[in-house]
Amino acid sequence: MEQPRQPGSPVEERGITPGECLATGHDQPWAVWKTLNRLRVGEGRCKASMKKWNITTSDACACGEPQTMEHLMNCTQAPQCTGDDLAEPTAAALACANHWKDEI
């Protein structure tokens, strides 16, 4: 028996309808879809995280800035995208994910 939803739950207050379905972009190759999802949630194997986890000693991106997950979407040496682009995903988000798919 399905439990009734509580009106005004935190998820619904943010305009998100709970459901069991794959995130958009699931029709992309696995590496791209995985990267889209990592960029969406802001967690992944960027150099800042790798340094925090003591896997590497440098958090520097190829452009010289600290490579955080947020930086990956704005790096001057890669296709750039926004959080709104990632939600769709738009061509900009797919280009960004394709660029970083082998790194994060």
Please tell me the distance from the alpha carbon of residue 97 to that of residue 34, in angstroms, as a whole number: 9
pLDDT < 70 regions, the chain: 1-18
Enumerate residues 6+ apart whose C-beta is below 8 A from 67. Answer: 46, 47, 48, 59, 60, 61, 75
Q: What angle in degrees, to the nearest 10, is found between the helix axes of 91-100 and 30-41?
A: 100
The pLDDT score that the predictor gives to residue 7 is 60
Of 78, 85, 83, 70, nearest in space to 101 by CA: 78
Q: Tell me the two tokens of residue 16.
A: 């998100």
CA atoms within 13 A on the CB side of 14: 4
44-53 tens-digit pLDDT:
999 999 999 9
Cβ-defined contacts of 49-54 (< 8 Å, 24+): none
The pLDDT score that the predictor gives to residue 17 is 67
The pLDDT score that the predictor gives to residue 22 is 85
